[in-house]
Structure 1
Amino acid sequence: MKRLSIVLLIFLSIFSIIEVSAQKDPKAKSILDGMSQKFQSMQGFTASFDFTYSDQAGTSDRQSGDISVKGNQYRLKLPEQEIFNDGKTVWTLIETPTYKEVTINDVSQMEGELTPSNIYKMYESGFNYVLLADKSFQGKQVNVVELNAEKPNAPFQKVLLMIDKSTKDLLGWEMFDGQGGSFSYAFKNLKADSSIPDSYFVFDPKKYSGVEIIDLR
């Protein structure tokens, strides 16, 4: 009986090792590393994008916008909203026909959120990952990598990354919050651009007359 218990313990130990190693799929990591290196080599890019949101109740929203990214800086433009992030400060501008306001936060206050700049390295901590079957996305063949949060209270429990098989560009991603909400982004006209000045990612109140400033720092 004791011998049987030892054999069972060894078997369970081996199974646990296999299960743990499978959480970090080496094939997926190779693709993710290639995507991250491609992003760093561009030293900046611009793109247009489509954004779609849906929730468990059936509510959905679809918008299009423009994005510029340089290192950990980004500027995101939507029809009535614009986000400036210079790597230290985040300005969120809401501009409608009836009012204008900008909310200011430190980047540290936004910790844990997925952004256009950290999406390229988010897999490095807090997530397990696995390579799924290839698919066609925007007319291109892509590797699909699934990230799963290690913690049950993470803002997003699952993220799917669509990575161009030939160029290693990140063409889009889908995020799931675990409560029925899903957010998807699809890049279009992605172009490398390392000449974007740092000032482009800083909100200048002089260019927006009549805007109400709400500083939450």
Structure 2
Amino acid sequence: MKKIALFYTFFLILSCSFHAAAQKDPKAKTVLDAMSKKFQEMNGFTANFDFTFQDASGTSDRQSGEISVKGEKYRLKLPDQEIFNDGKTVWTFIQSDNYKEVTINDASQMEGELTPSNIYRIYESGYSYKLMGEKQFQGKTAQVVELLAEKSNAPFEQVKLMIDKSNSSLLGWEMFDGQGGVFSYTFQNLKLDSSIPPSHFVFDVKQYPGIEVIDLR
């Protein structure tokens, strides 16, 4: 009986701990809702960004790129690849001096992934969240909100958003894969641009004769 009582107590503690961890901090929600509203009001923007990946051993890689976002659409340009997403189709374009390739997926196949367009509303389902406090980030006072995945099979178990306290703009975010890997994104030179045409988010295969097409739709 004593062993059963101890097991029950242990189970109860675990249940209570999980429930506490899964809570959604109302203060954090206020910050997140303001960030999401700010994104919707922008109706399109362009920016430069820095991307850093660090694995469990401490080895890191850093790249800079350009990004355009409008609603569900985005275009992401890195030195070795470019990703186009028009909300329905995703094209991943890779080219070198003597080789060109594009992989095509349905946007629905990317569900669950964190993207430049859904990072603003990722907190709405699948994550608990809490306000961690404030820190200086890019010379600005940022409110740090931590998101914790509610399911073990989530692509990232933890996400930290850095949100400008003065105007609710998203300054950057960090994603933790649960295996020691950390992905960091930082926006720079963000400019509002509501005039970005739909064609900007579409990859035109016809412009690249001889390109290898890998269609996974």
Tell me the TM-score normalised to structure 2 length. Answer: 0.90
C-alpha displacement of 1:108: 1.1
1:4 matched residue in structure 2: none
**1:138-177 matches, cutoff 5 A:** 138-177=138-177
Equivalent residue letter for 1:135: K
Q: Please, which runs of 5 or more residues in structure 2 have no aligned partner?
A: 1-11
Task: Verify: 1:213 aligned to 2:209, yes or no.
Answer: no
RMSD over aligned Cα atoms = 2.1
2:67 matched residue in structure 1: 67
SS of 2:146's partner is strand
2:9 matched residue in structure 1: none
Task: Name whichever of 154-163 and 206-215 sits farther off.
Answer: 206-215
2:25 matched residue in structure 1: 25
2:40 matched residue in structure 1: 40
1:94 matched residue in structure 2: 94
Equivalent residue letter for 1:204: D
1:52-110 Cα distance to aligned partner (Å, 9 max, x none): 00111333210000000000000000011000000000000011123110000001111
Partners of 2:137 and 2:212 in 1: how far apart?
Answer: 41
Residues 179 and 21 (structure 1 numbering): CA distance in 2 closer, same or farther, change over 3 Å?
Answer: closer
2:115 matched residue in structure 1: 115
Partners of 1:21 and 1:135 in 2: how far apart?
Answer: 22
Partners of 2:22 and 2:49 in 1: how far apart?
Answer: 33
Partners of 1:209 and 1:47 in 2: how far apart?
Answer: 30
Partners of 2:22 and 2:31 in 1: how far apart?
Answer: 16
SS of 2:36's partner is helix
C-alpha displacement of 1:16: 5.0
Aligned-pair identity in percent equals: 71
Partners of 1:21 and 1:178 in 2: how far apart?
Answer: 16
The 4+ residue runs of structure 1 with deviation greater than 2 A are 19-22, 206-210
Q: Please, which runs of 5 or more residues in structure 1 have no aligned partner?
A: 1-11
Partners of 1:183 and 1:111 in 2: how far apart?
Answer: 19
1:128 matched residue in structure 2: 128
The count of corresponding residues between Structure 1 and Structure 2 is 206
Tell me the TM-score normalised to structure 1 length. Answer: 0.90
C-alpha displacement of 1:131: 0.3
